[in-house]
Amino acid sequence: MSELIKVKQQGEARCEGLSYQDLLDEETVEVPAYLRENTNPYMGDEDIDVARWVGRDFHEQEKKKLWPKVWQMTCREEDIPEVGDHHVYEIVDQSIIVTRTGENEFKAFINSCLHRGRILRDNDGHAEEFVCPFHGATWDIHGNFKGIPCKWDFSHLDQKDMSLPQVKTGIWGGFIFINFDDNCVALEDYLSPLPEHFARFPLHDYYKGAHVERVVNCNWKVGAEAFMESFHTLETHSEILTFTGDANSQYDTFGDHVSRSVTPMGIASPHMPDVTAEDTMRDILELSGRMATDSAEGHEMPEGLTARTYVAETNREMFSDIIGEPLEDATQSELEDAILYMLFPNTQIWTGYHGNIVYRFLPNGDDHNSCIFETMILMRYPKGTKKPDPAEKNTLRPDQAFSEAPEIGGLGPVFDQDDSNMAAVQKGMIASRKGKVSLASYQESRIRHLHQSIDKYLNA
């Protein structure tokens, strides 16, 4: 056998027993094609240098070659519902005013006055025009220059282009994206195959029901990677193993910008062979934070039904009531499993019919040793009723626990467990004498994929 084939086989090892695809075979409705995709090209097993997370040089390279080139999610459309509403988006040392200029039109301006350079807008808000708070230079919301006090002193500006510089904008799923690069690929090409995979989940028609953020003392990639594999469930979240098929998870990569993990729920972990269906049902309702109800009170497992089926059908009924339309075509997997996509480089979105979680990990300004971890929950509302206003962002203090944010419910305590690792990983990487990390071939393959995609930008 050639070396090459041996290596390939090593990358194809999987946990023994039930796979996610085996579970799909048990579905009673038609399984959509995107769930049947199972693609994980072997990417190697080399150790990765900790400098990618803790080195200042690497951060500087990202600042120069990554962030100026990628499409990045800024906010939700419903965050700026009226013409003139704007969101100030900050990435490393850059600041952008994302503003609604028409019913379905958005522009993004460099947030810097063309007179003396002060940022034009300090906060999110609403403006009829952008007046610099320093000397009063003014632009309309389309970026056209309207003037400056003491015009007699600025005749030398008459021949200059005083329009506010813009960056590219794009919309998908109710998210507003920007890209600093005038020559970037079109957003739809960058996102592919995400829109196709989310065809059953019209995120543009969801609303942001919760938005919580907090600074975490780790590099933004350490934060993101805490949510890119289910391998850590065994040690970090052992209380959820009764209903989480952690080692049964499937990991996929699609091109350079999208990857996904699918962790079956409503089945016990392969690490826990003796769990009863009753235990699984009770624990998933009470602890997962993602089901249609957060209490097992009044729920009794009917004879002959699996916990996976019982919980999926409970979700089907309750989600249908919330949305106001039947979910007859939904698979049990879509009603229950943790199907989590990553959109390169720093946004992660769950599929689902109600209560879809979104994560974003932003560098905390120009500091490579801390990041801003945000969680949003996208909710549905009854068909034919007015879309509810989005939740105001709740910024927790650095000393606060995520469980102090009641709006994210059962997720808070789970995040607190993840939080107990994130800053500790950063600290341990800095202290490391090995100076490298090793990754699981399959279960941590999405992390390798993230780094290989980053390298494509840094080496471009």
Binding stretches for another protein (CB under 8 A): 85, 121-128, 131, 133, 389, 391-392
Contact between 376 and 211 under an 8 Å Cβ cutoff? The reply is yes
CB of 393 to another protein, least distance (A): 10
Of 7 and 131, CB closest to another protein: 131
ω into 193 cis (within 30 of 0): yes
CB of 457 to another protein, least distance (A): 32
CB of 342 to another protein, least distance (A): 30
Of 127 and 272, CB closest to another protein: 127
Of 49 and 90, CB closest to another protein: 90
Burial 71-103 (b: 16+ CB within 10 A, else e): bbbbbbbbbbeeebbbbbbbbbebbbbbbbbee
Of 60 and 122, CB closest to another protein: 122
Closest CA to 194 of 36, 341, 35: 341
Q: What DSSP line would sit under 178-238, residue for residue?
A: EES-TTPPPHHHHHTTHHHHTTTS-GGG-EEEEEEEEEESS-HHHHHHTTS-STTHHHH-G
Of 132 and 285, CB closest to another protein: 132
CB of 389 to another protein, least distance (A): 7
For 120, the 3-state DSSP assignment is coil
CB of 34 to another protein, least distance (A): 35
Of 211 and 232, CB closest to another protein: 211
CA gap 99, 412 in Å, rounded:
32
CB of 412 to another protein, least distance (A): 21
DSSP state, 244? Answer: B
Beta bridge partners of 176: 75, 171
